């Protein structure tokens, strides 16, 4: 294996996109801290008591991070093997959305807080620490979700119909004077109730309304079983055990199944040889 | 296989009830959009700020849709092979209920919003787009629910007894002065609590009441596991469903789901028209 | 098999305890209706608007039912094969508790509503209609619960410890001025939160309290998975399928697998012979 | 098997740390009652109506229990085979935390209630009554949790990201005037909603906010299926655990769970005392 002579662009690509070189790893670690700090700045700025005193300082920090991420975005686009593909990829769009709000906030101040979209960049965390085992767990979860995608869509469409019918029914029964001011409001209440959230900002006042609400709660309780059933059935199916059971034996008495951390045989007291 | 010479009534039947011809598909697609638009009209009319300005226009639209659905209903009754059977079938009743409220609202205005029952007509969506794969997912869910029907009934009857006993107990402990004004009201509260909805419109005020409520919440939490367990166990079992579903119908008796290779209807023995 | 000459006591026993004779079945059906009506009387009497007008009539009905159940209880004790065993059996105690509150209410009026304990007598419903299939479903559920009894006990003891520690922590953090007036009150709140009921009668006011509450909610969400997992694992294990697939064939073309409700063969149109 | 001649320190160790001798069992049983009573004292003292009348008496009891536990802690440190290891072990730290708050409360009175940490000492309950069967159930639950640890971490990190993004979005949509005073507050609300707790102290007021909240509730409902699926799949897999657990300890290194037939400790090679 010979050393490859890489162009500047290729070197840049390896550092920015890769994590298998010391500099690539350092770059990504630096990025994670920058993202976390920039999030902290946004969150602190939203707290009135903090913002009142330190708004100017926080604004300076935010612009520093935004410029940093803008430079990073430009470098990514420059060094990407296929620019169009990167720009419209999932990560490419998130990288863009992470810098846009600050610029847009100059025109529309209320969009400012949206830079919290930056948090999505933390998904990179899974790549950085070479946590392949976590990656596989994540893959397993994603697989189970993907496999049950269509069942969940069918389920959600049925739930939405039920919620609309029940919401309308409650709108008719309770009426605007009891807080059910419109059908969308009644549907919002029906979702609140069937998902067992139950804010309590709107509650049925009439006896008939309470009867219908009771039936809805019991229905919602039973219905909750369905997505769980779907996901569990998929997970049980795709579950693959890769546990290692020890076959370590004591050389003195040949007792099998000594634990990985045992230092002495539990049957005869002889010291066990170290695991190789 | 010979071409069948169909009468006007049979052609109408094939367009209105079937989805296996180009015109039948177009008719059902048009119907879905009409249903969705008519629902939008009802929902918009229920929002006060919209209704105040556009009530007249919305009323016109509603009458247009209602007349449209009335014509469709009459054509369905006319072209149905067995009129009595269609009128009292599930879809027949829904088709009727979709037009009735507008007429009844002339006499009883408060029934107006009930036309949202139209949403149930959207169940047709599953048939229209020849979503055979979704159909099988739906079938799978329905099978799992049907298989666990009796277990869920037994479970619900036990839950209802527990809820009635606990509700009565709370009525005795808390009494009308703390919001538990009657036994039905206390049972409503007990359902709210055990299903973990927890509106908070009525809450226990005494120490004993809070103790009982705590026990009920923990019970409800554990009980929630039961329907989930039932459905999940069924789903794990029936997971590998490999039913083949079609949307082919028999023109003589409207039986749905005739097999792709069937040449005669399994319900009435009539020869099936060839697939186009 | 010869007819047995039964004594009066044996005949009475067969009617009262058994459901396999016409009179035994009629007796139990009559009893169910009497229980349901007596419950209705209690519930109606608890509603103020009804009670104000019809209290006298409802009292008369209640005494009629109570006397009826008292006579029934005496007959049961008289005709029971083993009196002591019956009196201290589950059903024996419920039968007694169903009549006691009315008499006790003469001394302690507030105990009156407790006659709702009568609802527990409805458990007999499972026996009356000879619903053996429901009985087996019930048995299945009961088995799964019994098998996971010890796991659920261990789980509950861990949950109670967590709830006590978290409740105390919130009591220290929020203090009496924010509604957490004592440790038991804070524990009640912690149960409300971890079971995801969330009444909202007490809510954290400080930032630290909200942080702890957030962690508790996420914990409670995860913890909810445990009883479900326990029950589901048991149910999957004890699940026994006894579905019957048809082996009905068409006598004309020998097509196998005709449905139970099919009247004509789906392959050749020949009428199928009736199922014997 | 010969009888071992044990020193005072070893005898003390066997009584205090072990439960396999009559005195060791009696010591631990006495300890459980002392812990329960001391907890009762703390809880009663937090109730204002009780505290007002009996504060002096309760203080005396608390000091008695604290001194008792202090003596016990000193004896434990004295008789432990490896003092540093015991002091920094899980139980060692809990034993220390159980006595510290009372002393610290002399300086910082508000820390007083923290002595409820004593409840964690009740974990010993599982050991004392030689509840080997419960131990194995507990082990089973702990195994299933441990096996799904990484999946749950991945799941929680995804949930936290979603909650932060949704919280920020609601902060932008609803704003401080509707109760969403800062991003952390909005995230707290998002957790309240997605875990289906729904206190109702903050609720969306705008139509867009209600739409987003509805979507979040449905998402949260579906998401709830994931941890349940994870734990259930693990439990189904590990259901047939046939581990044998004992409460036999090695007097040299305090390793618990030595096998019934083991003659030497598997951790340090010391000969185990015979089972009495």
DSSP of B80-114: -SSHHHHHTSHHHHHHHHTTHHHHHHHH-GGGGGG
| Chain centroid offset of residue A106 CA | 29
Encode pLDDT of D101-110 as tens digits: 778 777 777 6
Q: Which residue is closest to B212 within chain C, CA to CA?
A: C188
Partner B contacted by C176 (CB < 8 A): no
Q: Give the closest of D197, D198, D228 to B228, CB-based.
A: D228
- D214-242: average pLDDT: 77
> What pLDDT does residue A110 have?
67
Contact D200 B199 (CB under 8 A): yes
Encode pLDDT of B178-206 as tens digits: 888 888 899 999 999 988 888 888 899 98
Residue carrying structure tokens 């609400």: A213
Percent of chain D with pLDDT over 70: 75
| Chain centroid offset of residue D229 CA | 24
| Separation in Å, CA of C8 to nearest CA in chain A | 47
Contact C266 B262 (CB under 8 A): yes
Percent of chain B with pLDDT over 90: 8
Contact B226 C224 (CB under 8 A): no
- A11-34: average pLDDT: 78
Interface of D with C in 94-153 (CB under 8 A): 110-111, 113-114, 116-117, 119-120, 122-123, 125, 133-134, 137-138, 140-141, 144-145, 152
Contact C119 B161 (CB under 8 A): yes
Encode pLDDT of C74-93 as tens digits: 988 888 888 888 888 877 88
Cβ burial of C97 (10 Å; 0-12, 13-18, 19+) is middle
- D210-229: average pLDDT: 86
Q: Is the Cα torsion angle B146, B147, B148, B149 positive or negative in sign?
A: positive
Partner C contacted by A274 (CB < 8 A): no
**Distance of alpha carbon D121 from alpha carbon D11, whole angstroms:** 22
> What pLDDT does residue D238 have?
64
Contact B152 A197 (CB under 8 A): no
- A206-232: average pLDDT: 86
Average pLDDT, chain B: 78
Q: Can you give the residue ranges of every domain in chain A?
A: 3-131, 147-241
**Distance of alpha carbon C239 from alpha carbon A152, whole angstroms:** 24
| Separation in Å, CA of C10 to nearest CA in chain B | 32
| Residue B112 and residue B101 in contact, taking contact as beta carbons nearer than 8 Å | yes
- Please report residues of D whose CB lies closer than 8 A to that of B196: 196
Partner D contacted by C188 (CB < 8 A): no
**Distance of alpha carbon D215 from alpha carbon B1, whole angstroms:** 52
Query: Do the domains at B3-131 and B147-241 have one common CATH topology?
Result: no
Partner D contacted by A231 (CB < 8 A): yes
Residue carrying structure tokens 């069967």: D133
> What pLDDT does residue B260 have?
61
- C88-112: average pLDDT: 78
pLDDT at B1 over 60: no
Encode pLDDT of B203-234 as tens digits: 999 889 999 999 999 888 878 788 888 888 77
- A30-46: average pLDDT: 83
pTM > 0.90: no
| Residue C110 and residue B172 in contact, taking contact as beta carbons nearer than 8 Å | yes
ipTM comes to 0.75
pLDDT at A186 over 80: yes
Partner C contacted by D235 (CB < 8 A): yes
Of residues D89 and A111, the one with the higher pLDDT is D89
pLDDT at D70 over 80: yes
Partner D contacted by A196 (CB < 8 A): yes
Interface of D with A in 1-40 (CB under 8 A): none
Chains that touch B (3 or more CB pairs under 8 A): A, C, D
Q: Which residue is closest to B47 within chain D, CA to CA?
A: D207
**Distance of alpha carbon C96 from alpha carbon C88, whole angstroms:** 10
SS3 state at D242: coil
Q: Give the closest of A134, A184, A269 to D150, CB-based.
A: A134
Average pLDDT, chain D: 78
| Residue A48 and residue A144 in contact, taking contact as beta carbons nearer than 8 Å | no
Cβ count within 10 A of residue A130: 12
Of residues B67 and D259, the one with the higher pLDDT is B67
Contact C119 B164 (CB under 8 A): yes
> What pLDDT does residue A276 have?
47
Q: Give the closest of C113, C140, C227 to B225, CB-based.
A: C227
Q: Which CATH number does C3-131 carry?
A: 1.20.120.350
Cβ burial of A181 (10 Å; 0-12, 13-18, 19+) is middle
SS3 state at C257: strand
- Please report residues of A whose CB lies closer than 8 A to that of D262: 266-267
Residue carrying structure tokens 């929630």: B224
CATH topology of domain C147-241: Helix Hairpins (1.10.287)
Of residues C116 and B157, the one with the higher pLDDT is B157
Task: Name the most confidently modeled range: A57-71, A247-261, C220-234.
Answer: A57-71
């Amino acid at each position: 294996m010979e050393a490859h002579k890489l162009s500047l662009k290729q070197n840049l690509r390896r550092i920015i996109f890769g994590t298998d070189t010391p500099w690539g790893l350092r770059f990504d670690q630096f990025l994670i801290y920058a993202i976390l700090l920039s999030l902290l700045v946004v969150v602190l700025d939203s707290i009135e008591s903090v913002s009142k005193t330190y708004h100017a300082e926080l604004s300076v920090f935010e612009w520093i991070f935004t410029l940093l991420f803008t430079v990073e975005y430009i470098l990514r686009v420059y060094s990407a093997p296929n620019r169009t593909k990167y720009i419209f990829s999932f990560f490419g769009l998130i990288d863009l959305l992470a810098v846009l709000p600050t610029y847009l906030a100059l025109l529309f101040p209320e969009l400012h807080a949206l830079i919290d979209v930056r948090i999505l960049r933390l998904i990179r965390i899974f790549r950085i620490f070479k946590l392949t085992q976590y990656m596989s767990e994540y893959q397993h979860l994603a697989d189970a979700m993907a496999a049950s995608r269509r069942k969940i869509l069918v389920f959600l469409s049925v739930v939405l119909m039920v919620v609309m019918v029940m919401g309308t029914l409650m709108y008719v029964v309770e009426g605007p004077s009891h807080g059910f001011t419109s059908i969308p409001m009644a549907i919002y209440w029906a979702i609140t109730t069937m998902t067992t959230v139950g804010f309590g900002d709107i509650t049925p006042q009439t006896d008939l309304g309470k009867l219908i609400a009771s039936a809805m709660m019991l229905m919602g309780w039973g219905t909750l079983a369905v997505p769980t059933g779907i996901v569990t059935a998929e997970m049980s199916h795709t579950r693959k055990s890769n546990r290692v059971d020890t076959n370590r034996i004591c050389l003195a008495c040949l007792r099998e199944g000594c634990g990985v951390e045992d230092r002495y045989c539990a049957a005869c007291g002889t010291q066990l040889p170290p695991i190789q």
